Amino acid sequence: MRKNRLRLVGAAAAILVATGIGAPAQAQDKQPTLADLAERHGRYYGSATDNPELVDEPYKAILGSEFDQITPGNGMKWYATEPEQGVFDFSQGDEIVNLARANRQKVRGHTLVWHSQLPDWLTSREWTAPELRAVLKKHIQTEVRHYRGKVFAWDVVNEAFNEDGTYRETIFYKTLGPGYIADSLRWARQADPKVKLYLNDYNIEAVGPKSDAYYTLAKQLKAQRVPLDGIGLQAHLALQYGYPTTLEDNLRRFSRLGLDTALTEVDIRMILPATEEKLAQQADWYRDVTEACLAVRRCVGITLWDYTDKYSWIPAFFDGEGAALPWDEQLAPKPAYFAIREALRK
Ligand code: 9MR
C-alpha cells in the first residue's frame, strides 16, 4: 500500500499520505475500499441500489462501506415519484438519499425524462404539445427542487436515441419534437443552478452512430448555451458482443467539448453458465473499463448497476444470461472485483 502511495504524484497524493499518518493504526491496517482507491484519482466508485434490497443487512454493509456514490435503480423514476398527476411521492428516493447521507455517499439522480417506467396517467391518453410541456416542466422542476443539494448529478434525459442515431420516437419526441431535450435541461437548471446535468444512454461506449448522435447533439447544445454538463455512458456490456475498444477515445472526444463523462450503469453479462474462463475475461473487461475512465481526466466516476449478482436486472431481462457484477449471489467478490482494485491501484 505504501509503495502505491509513493507512486502517486501531486498535491492530492501528498494530502492523502499526510492524513494517513494522522489516522489511527486500525484504519491504516484496513484494506482500502474501491471508493478509497478511486478517490486517490479524484474519482468516485459507486453502485446502484433499490429500495426492496435495503432489508438485506449483509448487502447493505458492503454497499455502505465499499462505495462512495449510490444511484437509486428505480426510486426516482416518474412512475414512483408522480404516481398520480400532480401528486408527488419522494419516499423511495428519500430513503436512498438518507442512506447515502448516513454513509457519506454522493447520489446520482436517475432519471427525470425517460420513455420507460412512466405512470399510466401519462401514457394512457393523448396530450397536446402545450399540455405535455406543462406536465414535463412541472415533473422535472418539482423533482429537481425536492432533491436540490441532495443529488450531485441528474440523468435529465435517458435513452433519447435509437441504435442508428435517429431520435427515439418517445411520447416526448412525438409530441414536442427534439427540442424537448434542451427544454428539459433548461428547466432542470432553473430548479437547481448547481447540480450537474447529464444525458445518459446505453450502447454509446464505442464510437458509432449512436454515440455520434450524442456528440452532435452535445455540440449543438453547447453552441446554443443550453445547460449540459455531462454524458452518462451506461456501459451495459456483454462478453458475447465484444469489448468497445474505442471507449477511451469516445470519452476523450466528449471531454474536448467541455463535458464530463461518467460510466453510470456498468455491468458485464455473459451467457450462463459462468465458467472460470468467462469470469477471467469479465475481469479483464472490468479492468479495461476502469482504466479507460482513469485515462480521461473528465471521466468523473464509475457506477455499477448494483454490485452483486443477487440483485442484478440481467437474468430477468436476458434469458440465459447473468453473472454480470463483481460480487456473486452470495456477496463474495469475483475475479472482476480484484481486477477493478488492480486498475485503481495503478
Ligand atoms: O435496474 C432497473 C430494473 O430494476 C427495472 O426493472 C428496469 C426497468 O426497465 O430498469 C432498470 O434500470 C435501467 C435504467 O433505469 C436505465 N438503463 C437501463 C437499466 C436496465 O434496464
Give domain limits for the chain.
2-14+25-345
Cα 40 to Cα 11, 43, 339, distances in angstroms: 11, 7, 17
Q: Cβ atoms within 10 A of the Cβ of 324, count?
A: 26
**Catalytic residue list:** 159, 265
Ligand 1 pocket: which residues have CB below 6 Å? Answer: 73-74, 116-117, 158, 202, 234, 265, 313
Relative to beta strand 321-322, strand 260-271 is: antiparallel
* Backbone φ and ψ of 116, nearest 5°: -105, 160
Residues in the chain: 346
Ligand 1 atom nearest to 110, measured from its CA? 15
pLDDT of residue 30: 83
335-345 vs 276-295: helix crossing angle, rounded to 10: 30
Angle ∠(84,87,91) on CA atoms, nearest 5:
105
Q: Which CATH superfamily is domain 2-14+25-345 in?
A: Glycosidases (3.20.20.80)
pLDDT of residue 326: 98
Residue 238 Cα to ligand 1 midpoint, Å, equals 16
The residue whose CA is least distant from atom 3 of ligand 1 is 313
Cα 217 to Cα 145, 154, 211, 332, distances in angstroms: 26, 18, 10, 42
Ligand 1 atom nearest to 202, measured from its CA? 17
Three-state SS across 48-79?
Answer: EECHHHHHCHHHHHHHHHHCCEEEECCCCCHH
Bridge partners for 271 per DSSP: 321
Cell of 247: 471507449
Residue 132 Cα to ligand 1 midpoint, Å, equals 24
HSE at residue 326, side-chain half, CA atoms within 13 A, is 28
Helix residue ranges per DSSP H, the chain: 2-7, 11-22, 25-29, 34-39, 57-66, 78-81, 91-102, 120-123, 129-146, 171-176, 180-191, 209-223, 247-256, 276-295, 314-317, 335-345
Question: CB-based burial of residue 240 (10 Å sphere; 0-12 exposed, 13-18 middle, 19+ buried)?
Answer: exposed
The preferred substitution site among 79, 96, 161, 305 for testing ligand 1, maximizing ligand atoms within 8 Å of CB, is: 305
Q: Cβ atoms within 10 A of the Cβ of 11, count?
A: 7
Identify whether the C-beta of residue 70 lies closer than 8 Å to the C-beta of residue 96. Answer: yes
> Nearest Cα to 181, choosing from 202, 201, 163, 209?
201
Identify whether the C-beta of residue 340 lies closer than 8 Å to the C-beta of residue 303. Answer: no
- Residues in the chain predicted with pLDDT less than 70, given as ranges, are 1-29
Cα 86 to Cα 12, 95, 175, 313, 337, distances in angstroms: 46, 21, 20, 30, 43
pLDDT of residue 274: 98
pLDDT of residue 28: 52
The preferred substitution site among 78, 313, 314, 318 for testing ligand 1, maximizing ligand atoms within 8 Å of CB, is: 313
